[in-house]
Structure 1
Amino acid sequence: MRAVVYTQSGNSSVLDLVERAAADPGPGEVRVRIVRAGVNPTDWKFRSGGFGKMTFPEIVPGQDGAGVVDAVGSGVTDIAVGDRVWTMLAQHARPGGTAQELVVLPVDNVTTLPDTSSFDVGAALGVPAVTAHRALTTSEDGPDRLAPGALAGLTVLVAGGAGAVGNAAIQLARWAGAIVISTVSSDEKATLAKAAGAQHTVNYREGDPVTAIRDLAPDGVDIVVEVAPAQNLRLDLQVIRPRATIAIYSSEGGSEVALSVGQALSTNARFQWVLLYTVGRSALRAAAEDITAALADGAFGVGEEHGLPVHHYLLEQTSEAHAAVEASAVGKVLIDVCETAWP
């Protein structure tokens, strides 16, 4: 089978397309023929050494993908050969990610993909959608699961609604009944956030965004899905209501945060840090189930019409795909691994 690998940290040029023998699934594992693989910022950060030294001598990148199960190990009962699935955390604590034709994963890392959802959609879930789910389900006065009506009466502020996590947060929050406000940096990104389902957008480069958000949510917002705390935390504290949650999943724009203790105390604000690798199995499984329910309801999609343009690369173009994500491509970067689900 074909696989993209790297044996040393560095820029995207360290990625090589090679031939490797396919592994067989062990107990509690399944083997998935990957049709589409998703590329996330964490992929190039791992590859470049941003998360420390390599833990395996050879690594196949890629946490997210979608395809068809072609073999199952002993003890696997809920997933069968021929099932369409989407993956999460394929590369976490393992050397083999989704940038290969066949990947062996624990059965807990795969979830059935509804027949109505394309492989493009399935490969775009994983890191973005599960992160968004976690950000929306940790507030004091909100739900710990998402379903239609679960966020009814709540207002969610999504920072950077044109990004992959922001897009997923908008779609999931709207499915769950929330009012969604998204901050954006341009008219083009406002159009994408609205296509995802945001009822309101605020261009933070124009006028006073605090006033604009407060005009839309006079009592304050209930949940903030935050991508750039170093830049936005001061704004967040001015627009939340008491006991709101600011869920922080990235450090775009800076890794240090200046916090006004008095301002935070006055709101009883909850700061929720979100990193999928340590959230726990129960939270991951809850997210997988709820996201799949949203898919079944037709409430989650990709493409320009859903606010998330898709950029396709061939497997042999994985280095270019990584470079595109590293250059902050707007939309979702996908790798076309196999032409079809079967050889």
Structure 2
Amino acid sequence: MRVVASGINPSDIETRRGFGAKAMPFSWIIPHQDGEGVRYRGGIRRLALRAVRQAGRQRVLRGRASLRVPAMTAHRCLFADGGVRGKRILVQGGRGVAGNAAILPAKWAGAWVAATVSRDEQADVARAAGADLVINRHEEDVS
């Protein structure tokens, strides 16, 4: 796999420090959940996500992914307990990466979506993603 881009995700730092589990025993392992690369398999170009770098070599843990970690997080939060059709969803941080990534699939799945933002210019981003109601948390009572 040829790594095209790599970023540091907060979970990478947590993994290194042992947050929620035992700390990583080897300092030469560099997790980067937002790593992205290209791999050719059977003549087909595939994107790979969530690579782990070991001693300068790349190993793909999850291939053929086209969504980044925040989008997968948003999907999991929305649909882990089943469908959302007809439900009312509150997305905290509708302008943020994971929050914004939650609005569109929630709408596609038939939910009514409210999203919070902290500035007026962020409201346009949340509305463009499909939020039915946008609440500026500094100016309005979210509850």
Q: State TM-score, norm by structure 1.
A: 0.36
Q: Does 1:110 align with 2:66?
A: no
Query: What one-letter code is carried by the residue in structure 2 that aligns with 1:111?
Result: R
Q: 2:30 is paired with a residue of what secondary structure?
A: coil
Contact 2:39-2:46 at 8 Å conserved across structures: yes
Q: Does 1:57 align with 2:27?
A: yes
The residue number in structure 1 matching 2:95 is: 162
Q: Does 1:202 align with 2:106?
A: no
Alpha-carbon distance change, 133 to 69 in structure 1, aligned in 2, over 3 angstroms: same
Structure with greater contact order relative to length (CA < 8 Å, sep ≥ 6):
1
Q: Does 1:187 align with 2:120?
A: yes
Query: What one-letter code is carried by the residue in structure 2 that aligns with 1:209?
Result: V
How many residues of Structure 1 are paired with residues of Structure 2 in the alignment?
140
Moved over 6 A (4+): none
How much does 1:162 deviate? 1.8
Contact 1:69-1:80 at 8 Å conserved across structures: no
Gaps of 5+ in 2: none
Query: What one-letter code is carried by the residue in structure 1 that aligns with 2:2?
Result: R
Equivalent residue in structure 1 for 2:9, among 8, 17, 40: 40
Equivalent residue in structure 2 for 1:126, among 68, 79, 92: 68
Alpha-carbon distance change, 50 to 164 in structure 1, aligned in 2, over 3 angstroms: farther
Rounded Cα–Cα distance in structure 2 between residues aligned with 1:46 and 1:207: 37
Query: What one-letter code is carried by the residue in structure 1 that aligns with 2:23?
Result: K
The residue number in structure 2 matching 1:136 is: 78
The residue number in structure 1 matching 2:45 is: 83
Contact 1:69-1:81 at 8 Å conserved across structures: no
The residue number in structure 2 matching 1:23 is: none
Rounded Cα–Cα distance in structure 1 between residues aligned with 2:101 and 2:76: 11
Q: 1:209 is paired with a residue of what secondary structure?
A: coil
How much does 1:38 deviate? 4.0
1:108-144 CA-partner distances (Å, limit 9, x unpaired): x1125xxxxxxxxx4xx332112111111133xx42x
Gaps of 5+ in 1: 1-31, 71-78, 113-121, 144-150, 211-343
Query: What one-letter code is carried by the residue in structure 2 that aligns with 1:59?
Result: I
- Once the two structures are superposed, the pairs formed by residues 247-266 of structure 1 within 5 Å of their partners are none
Percentage identity across paired residues of the two chains: 44
Rounded Cα–Cα distance in structure 1 between residues aligned with 2:99 and 2:79: 15
> Highest Rg: 1 or 2?
1
Alpha-carbon distance change, 136 to 50 in structure 1, aligned in 2, over 3 angstroms: same
Alpha-carbon distance change, 205 to 184 in structure 1, aligned in 2, over 3 angstroms: same
The residue number in structure 2 matching 1:66 is: 36
How much does 1:173 deviate? 1.4
Contact 2:117-2:123 at 8 Å conserved across structures: yes
Alpha-carbon distance change, 82 to 103 in structure 1, aligned in 2, over 3 angstroms: farther
Query: What one-letter code is carried by the residue in structure 2 that aligns with 1:157?
Result: L
Alpha-carbon distance change, 201 to 152 in structure 1, aligned in 2, over 3 angstroms: same
Rounded Cα–Cα distance in structure 1 between residues aligned with 2:130 and 2:9: 22
How much does 1:50 deviate? 5.9
Query: What one-letter code is carried by the residue in structure 2 that aligns with 1:58?
Result: W
Q: State TM-score, norm by structure 2.
A: 0.77
Query: What one-letter code is carried by the residue in structure 1 that aligns with 2:49?
Result: T
Q: 1:129 is paired with a residue of what secondary structure?
A: helix
1:283-336 CA-partner distances (Å, limit 9, x unpaired): xxxxxxxxxxxxxxxxxxxxxxxxxxxxxxxxxxxxxxxxxxxxxxxxxxxxxx
